[in-house]
Amino acid sequence: MPLKLIYELIRLGSEQQKRKANINSISTARLAGIVIGIAKSFSKEKSSDVNIDQLLPFPLNEDANLFIAETREIFKGLIAKRKLPVSVIASLSRVIST
């Protein structure tokens, strides 16, 4: 099997597992949001509702995940400084471009 095909299969499997984990955790996250809201009302804290995305195991919006954005910036900096071998840069091109 070509290496790209194996990479794609692993990536798609990982995305599917993340979706399943989020789907199985949505009701728990909503309940946790209600409990946190009630706890905040007892402390008389005037803040907005809790974002359910923060209570899920994986972010719903991948672009919202700050770690991924920071990692992309580090990769781009290393590539610009030519600190990585050409084969590594070629492997990272898909990660950086998405």
- Identify the weakest region by mean pLDDT among 4-8, 33-37, 49-53, 67-71: 67-71
DSSP letter string over 28-85? HHHHHHHHHHHHHHHTT---PPPPGGGGSSS-SSGGG-HHHHHHHHHHHHHHHTT-S-
| Residue 6 pLDDT > 80 | yes
Domain ranges of the chain: 3-97
Which of 27-31, 38-42, 48-52 has the highest mean predicted lDDT (pLDDT)?
A: 27-31
| Residue 13 pLDDT > 70 | yes
pLDDT in tens, 65-87: 565 666 777 777 877 887 777 77
